[in-house]
Each structure stands twice: as C-alpha cells, then as structure tokens.
Amino acid sequence: MNTIAPDREALRRPLADSFGRRITYLRLSVTDRCDLRCRYCMSEAMTFMPRSELLTIEELGLIADAFVARGVKRIRLTGGEPLVRRGIDDLALHIGRQLGAGNLDELTLTTNATRLAEHAHLLVQAGVSRVNVSLDSLDADRFRLITRTGNLDKVLGGIAAGRAAGLAIKINMVALKGINEDEIEPMIRWCGDEGFDLTLIETMPLGVVDEDRTDRYLPLDGVRERLAERFTLDPIADRTGGPARYLRVRETGTHLGLITPLTNNFCDGCNRVRLTASGRLYMCLGHDDRIDLKAVLRNDGRGAIDAALDSALLSKPERHAFRIAGRGAAPAVDRHMSVTGG
C-alpha cells in the first residue's frame, strides 16, 4: 500500500459541503448484521455482506481519526447492531482516546440492547456517555411481532445494565400505523418514570422489506397534535447533532424528539455523513452518491483520505427526497438502513 503523507493544509481545514454546512458528525457503521429482523428495516431473509468486504477494526479507527483531524466532533457507532461486531470494544477504546485528548466532544452508540449487558462497562471505560436504544413496543408479543425474533426481557435487562454502568439512555421508537401507535402515549409515560428521553421516528423508505410501507406510515405531525391534547409540550432548542427536533414534556420532565423525514424535511442544518462497514461514505441517507474510502485507504494510504473527503462533499445534496409514493412503489434507495447505519 502506498503511504502518501497527510495534506497538512487539509488537516487544518474543516470539512464543509458546497452549501456551507460544516460536517461535524460521523455515523460510523461497523456491521450490516443484526440479531433482530425488524419488519420496517429488513426482510426476514436478509443477505448480509461477506465479512471479507468489511473494513478491519484498525481501518475503522484510522478513518475515524481522519475525520476527527478535519473537525468532526461527534461520532456515533451504528450498524446493523454494532454490538454483534467482534472488536467493537477495541474500536470504542481507540476512538475514545480522542475524547481524552480534547479532539472529540462525544462518542455514542445506537443499539437494540440485546447485548448491552455484556458491553456496557467497557463502553463506559472507552468514554461512551450515552446510547440510543431502539425499542418499538413494551408488549412482549408485539415486540416479537415487530422484531420477528426479539425477546423484550433481554432488551429491558440490557437497558437496566447500561444504566447501572453509568450510560445515559435514550429510547428510539419507530411509529408504525396499525402496530404500535396506541403505545406512544404509554411509552412517553414509561420513559418519564424511568428518566429516559424518547425520540419518535417516521418509517423511512430504505430498502425492500416484506410489507408495503404505505400501510405503516404514521405522520408525526398528527401524532404531535394528539399528544398535545394529553401533555404539555414545550418546544426547546436542544440539539444533539442529529435530525431530531425536541419538545419538553412538562408532565414527565423528559424530552420528546421527533424525526420527520417525510412530513418535515430536516436537511437545512445537516452536519453529518455516514460510513458503511465496507468503507462506502454516503453524504446523504436518501441519495446514492458515495465514495469508496476503503479503496482509497488500501490503495493510496491515509494521506489520500483528505482529498477524497473534500471531493466527496462537493456531491452532498441540499436535501433528501424521501416520500411514501403509494402502494407498491419502490423505496427511495435500494440499500437497507442496516447497511448505511442508523
């Protein structure tokens, strides 16, 4: 492998796209595999990438360092389910050194919590301060319906272990018409009792799944109106570097986030890019423009990454074009969310 020296001028230049938006947030997928099969995310019979195509843990760490050197301040480890990737704790420890050096503000992780009990203490040692847990139902039978294979008790045990280890927990709930919409209010109350913030997410048209998303699309503008009849919702300016808009639920004292890719485009302040486990860098979740950082790294070395990033960001679109087009319509992009990273 060639070893081009890093461009010193580039290292001092923050990442920005052609619309002047600073890129300070990297979502780093470590695997497309998952031990659940959530019906809005995956087909029941998924074909995953061969392990030979994945970046090594060392390469993931090297690319993360390259982004931090260019001004990225937040990194989220994602998947698939990141905790099924062998070496995930070592990667977290490697990136966590950037926290100690003052180069990184936050290292977080999104998980389904099935394996959180095994990893929580090591994640805390690495510097992970909070995790987002995907949890779409508190009813065991409905949880299994949504995930096809999930055990709710195991997930709740993982959440408890994470909290005991010192992790702040935020719950992510995909709002699904006809499946869990009646659980949104109970979920808010449960999160309030537990001291967890909650983010509701509209289903996204990514990848072919086994049912028509038209049947499950639940616009969150209507949900918010209905919740406002039961709760006092105060808009707040809090942002965590992601796409959610936040409200304070006065009755519980916790925050409610809304991620609305379909009813309220949130791209105006986009500050993030996504790297897949195979090294493809996507500038937008809803577009297919990408570059192969694995090829850049393996063929030309670390020094070529900076020029590749500058070139890639020129293609970052102003906004995505998500829509639920009607029954039988193709998804916005063919790749599943588990490939790009949540």
Q: Is 27 assigned a ligand-binding role in the annotation?
A: yes
Q: Which of helix, strand or coil describes residue 245?
A: strand
Q: Is 191 assigned a ligand-binding role in the annotation?
A: no
| Ramachandran quadrant class, 131 (left: phi over 0; alpha: psi -120 to 50; beta: rest) | beta
Q: Which of helix, strand or coil describes residue 283?
A: coil
Q: Is 272 assigned a ligand-binding role in the annotation?
A: yes
- E runs forming strands in 233-283: 233-235, 245-249, 254-259, 272-275, 280-282
Q: Is 257 assigned a ligand-binding role in the annotation?
A: no
Q: Is 76 assigned a ligand-binding role in the annotation?
A: yes
Q: Is 170 assigned a ligand-binding role in the annotation?
A: yes
Q: Is 174 assigned a ligand-binding role in the annotation?
A: no
- For residue 284, what are its two tokens? 């937008």
**What b/e string do you get for 172-202 counting C-beta neighbours within 10 Å, with b at 16 or more?**
bbbbbeebbeebbeebbebbbebebbbbbbb
Q: Is 284 assigned a ligand-binding role in the annotation?
A: yes
Q: Is 328 assigned a ligand-binding role in the annotation?
A: no
Q: Is 207 assigned a ligand-binding role in the annotation?
A: no
What backbone torsions phi and psi does residue 79 show, to the nearest 5 degrees?
A: -145, -145
Q: To which H or E segment does residue 191 belong?
A: helix 184-194
Query: Rounded to an integer, what distance in angstroms lies between the CA atom of residue 312 and that of residue 295?
Result: 14
Q: Is 177 assigned a ligand-binding role in the annotation?
A: no
Query: Rounded to an integer, what distance in angstroms lies between the CA atom of residue 331 and that of residue 321?
Result: 11
Q: Is 51 assigned a ligand-binding role in the annotation?
A: no
Q: Is 80 assigned a ligand-binding role in the annotation?
A: yes
Q: Is 217 assigned a ligand-binding role in the annotation?
A: no
Q: Is 270 assigned a ligand-binding role in the annotation?
A: yes
- Binding-site residue set for S-adenosyl-L-methionine: 40, 80, 134, 204
- Binding-site residue set for GTP: 27, 76, 110, 170, 272-274
- Binding-site residue set for [4Fe-4S] cluster: 34, 38, 41, 267, 270, 284
- Binding-site residue set: 27, 34, 38, 40-41, 76, 80, 110, 134, 170, 204, 267, 270, 272-274, 284
